[in-house]
Chain A
Amino acid sequence: MSRRRKRPIFELMSEYMEDFEMMAEELIESAVVERPTWDVRSKCLEPLRNVFVTADEVIVTADLPYAEPETVKVEAISRDLIEIAAKMKREIRFHDFGITHRKGEFSSFRCQTRIPVPVDTKRMEIRFKRGVLEVHLPRKRGYPIRVK
């Protein structure tokens, strides 16, 4: 008689979580009308970005090609929301990409990103290197539980 291999609970939970996240994402995709990554009225482009959670900090990165380094700004809007903004070295028009059926130009980047775990925004550190922004947000610590 073959016995089913027991799998570690964390492995199972991690798989369930991944499947759940995928289902949630698909549900959101089907329910929400997708917005473009540009806004002609505010002349803003939405940058590509990433959020990594490590044991000590949350690292948010954003790709900001053409951004003027001195204008890159990160602001904590609330405990779990930061806003990234930067002016571009020059205005980019739809026409620059060969697009003639839309009119408009873009002079800055802007986006808001939610932080998934509690962080200390006052100790936030920022680095901007070769067009990529890196924001380091130290995680808030809880209280230690002693091992008996």
Chain B
Amino acid sequence: MTQFLSELVRIVERKPIPSEATMLHGLPDVGLVGLIATSHIISQLKLTEIAYVDSDLLPPVVVLHEGLPHAPFRIFGNIELIATISEMAIPAAAIQPIMRALVDWGQSKKMRTMISIGGMPTPERQDIIEPKVFGAASTMSLLNTLSAKGVEILREGYMVGPYALIMRYCAERNLPAIALLAQSYYNYPDPEAAAVAIKELSKITELKIDVSKLLEKGEEIRLKARDVMKRTQRELTRMKKSQEYDLPLYV
């Protein structure tokens, strides 16, 4: 068992970690889009648990699956793909050190690209049948690649929360990072938005994931995800997520 240590966060590796893999992030955020999408990808590709994130900044929680304890914040993977998910809301106060540690860890493992899947709060979401997905990137060349592959670019606006920090830390170090943000409900679990985000992901990666099961189970997921959504909403309020509705000022 290897431990990757930062000041406040440790990433405990339970299996060998591939290098030069693509790293997906599916963390609790608006509409739980990233968490739902990444959990679906993990189950479709049968990725196995390879590491977990531990920190004194996280609540004292363990999640039981088939009777066995697991850290709620885990990293799954195969030889080409690594995926992080958290089955519990991440406290706003813990976001910065954890995201910094994840980016440090990804950099040490020479990850090819970090891709964050998330939601973009959209007040009129109820009237949108097929949500749009917008992309952001840490470097100009990556932004051009997204554009060339038909991803609509998020040109002006604020990003708030874990993905904002991944983007910032990666940009500082010139590491390739992408965020795919699907129009979604703010505080209702949104499997439809997760499905379109996965489809968009297939435009920029080799991943071909069937989303039919995800859409079929949409209502069940919405019901099951209520409690995680409720706790996530509290943290979103603490990190002032509603700032994403604001117009940025750059004269």
Q: Give me the interface of A with B, judged by CB distance under 8 Å.
A: 18, 22, 25, 37, 45, 47-48, 50, 52, 61, 63, 65-66, 92, 96-97, 129-132, 134
Contacts and interface: CB of A to CB of B under 8 A. Distances in A.
Interface size class of B (residues with CB under 8 A): 20 to 34
Given A37-B230, A65-B219, A65-B222, A129 B126 contact: yes
B224 interface: yes
B223 A92 contact: yes
B208 interface: no
A65 B223 contact: yes
Contacts of A45: 223, 226
Nearest to A101: B64
23 contacts: A22-B237, A25-B234, A37-B227, A37-B230, A47-B226, A48-B188, A48-B229, A52-B123, A61-B126, A63-B188, A63-B226, A65-B218, A65-B219, A65-B220, A65-B223, A66-B223, A97-B224, A129-B127, A130-B126, A131-B219, A132-B185, A132-B188, A134-B126
A50 B186 contact: yes
Contacts of B238: 22
B2 to A, nearest CB: 31
A66 B219 CA distance: 6
Contacts of B220: 65, 96
A22 B185 CA distance: 22
A125 B123 CA distance: 18
Contacts of A63: 185, 188-189, 222, 226
B187 interface: yes
A89 to B, nearest CB: 9
Contacts of B187: 48, 50
A131 B219 CA distance: 8
Nearest to B229: A48
A133 to B, nearest CB: 10
B30 to A, nearest CB: 12
